[in-house]
């Protein structure tokens, strides 16, 4: 979970808190924060500052839609409210709950190479354990059982995109889910943002002037018009835990089939290992 921020109460007289018209449902470590912050550069987007975890956590869901709405940012008439909680994608209960809220809500799914995602996921958990001075096994220990890839490892399961997407497709038509290429968003954010603007039915407002490459960070950072330049925080784009080349190859082999199943489901392919 990312750090929790308090919701922003309405400021302008005609501002109010509305339910989201679009939700970034995942994937965890796929670039969900970057996508949300970049979309928020658009004047017609109001982004929820914190992950809300309404549809994936029973203790939040039981508070009801009034609670959910109260977590949303103030928005003006005509603005599209967007929230991101990457935990939704792999949550078995989330798809039906989201449809129950609004069957027309638009869904954004940002994916990245599942092997890199897995290592990023592990690295995040490791880092959090280290901060709390707690031990955590090496990645290979979690990933391998008797020299073979362990399909029970949770971070590996979160990278089996086809399994999770199938559950969403049981509740939403494919056309209602826009897939963003997270690796492409890192290399060159603008084309992915323009496609997302179009999917959301927003006028084209995000442009090249909204981004600059920060060589120290090694990523594109944000340049809001009339605001201050900023990069995502240090939990985004950190060095990954090391993994032996042979294990990496075994992982790539493991994901070949699941990746192809995912490509068939979304109707496009990605340049993954």
Residues serving a catalytic function are 29
Per-residue binder mask for ligand PPS (CB under 6 A), 155-194, x = binder: ------------------------------xx--------
CA dist 23 and 225 (Å) reads 24
Task: Pick from 54, 153, 168, 219 the residue near ligand PPS by CB under 6 A.
Answer: 219
> Any binding-site annotation on 81?
no
Q: According to CB under 6 A, which residues from 236 to 255 bind ligand PPS?
A: 236-238
User: Which residue is it, tokens 């497709």?
Assistant: 169
CA-based torsion, 166, 108, 231, 112: positive or negative: positive
For 141, residues 6+ apart whose C-beta sits below 8 A from its C-beta are none
Q: Distance between CA 182 and CA 22 in Å, rounded?
A: 18
How many residues sit in the footprint of ligand PPS (CB under 6 A)? Answer: 18
Near ligand PPS in 60-79, by CB under 6 A? none
Stretch that binds ligand PPS, among 3-11, 29-37, 68-76, 261-269 (CB under 6 A): 29-37
Q: Min. distance of Cβ 104 from ligand PPS in angstroms?
A: 25
Neighbours of 42 (CB within 10 A): 22
Q: How far is CA 225 from CA 46, 193, 205, in A?
A: 15, 16, 11
Only segment of 28-36, 97-105, 142-150, 196-204 that touches ligand PPS (CB under 6 A)? 28-36
Residue 156's nearest CA partner among 120, 182, 126, 181 is 120
Sole window of 53-61, 167-175, 193-201, 231-239 interacting with ligand PPS (rule: CB under 6 A): 231-239
Burial of 240 by CB count in 10 Å (0-12 exposed, 13-18 middle, 19+ buried)?
A: middle
Give least dist CB 239 to ligand PPS, A: 8
Closest by CA to 147, choosing from 243, 245, 246, is 246
Q: Please return the burial class of 117, using the count of CB atoms within 10 Å of its CB with bins 0-12, 13-18 and 19+.
A: buried
Q: Please indicate if the annotation marks 134 as binding a ligand.
A: no
Of the candidates 29, 42, 53, 106, which one interacts with ligand PPS according to CB under 6 A? Answer: 29
Minimum Å gap between C-beta 147 and ligand PPS is: 26
Binding site for 3'-phosphoadenylyl sulfate, by residue number, is: 29-33, 112, 120, 220, 236-240
**Binding-site ranges for ligand PPS (CB under 6 A):** 2, 28-34, 86, 120, 185-186, 219-220, 232, 236-238
């Amino acid at each position: 979970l990312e750090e929790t921020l308090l919701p922003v109460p309405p400021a302008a007289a005609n501002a109010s808190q509305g339910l989201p018209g679009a939700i970034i449902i995942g994937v965890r470590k796929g670039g969900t924060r970057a996508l949300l912050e970049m979309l928020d550069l658009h004047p017609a987007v109001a982004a929820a500052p914190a992950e809300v975890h309404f549809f994936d956590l029973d203790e939040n869901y039981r508070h009801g839609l009034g609670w959910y709405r109260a977590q949303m940012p103030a928005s003006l008439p005509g603005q599209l409210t967007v929230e991101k909680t990457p935990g939704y994608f792999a949550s078995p209960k989330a798809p039906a709950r989201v449809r129950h809220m609004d069957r027309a809500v638009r869904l954004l799914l940002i994916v990245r190479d599942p092997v890199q995602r897995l290592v990023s996921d592990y690295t995040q958990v490791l880092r959090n354990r280290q901060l709390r001075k707690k031990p955590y096994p090496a990645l290979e220990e979690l990933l391998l059982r008797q020299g073979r890839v362990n399909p029970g490892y949770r971070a590996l399961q979160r990278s089996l995109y086809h399994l999770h997407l199938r559950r969403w497709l049981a509740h939403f038509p494919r056309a209602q889910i826009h897939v963003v290429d997270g690796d492409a968003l890192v290399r060159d954010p603008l084309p992915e943002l323009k496609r997302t603007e179009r999917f959301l039915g927003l006028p084209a407002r995000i442009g090249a002037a909204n981004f600059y490459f920060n060589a120290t960070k090694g990523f594109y950072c944000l340049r809001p018009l009339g605001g201050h330049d900023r990069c995502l925080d240090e939990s985004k784009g950190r060095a990954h835990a090391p993994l032996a080349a042979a294990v990496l190859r075994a992982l790539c082999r493991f994901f070949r089939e699941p990746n192809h199943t995912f490509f068939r489901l979304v109707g496009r392919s990605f340049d993954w290992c």
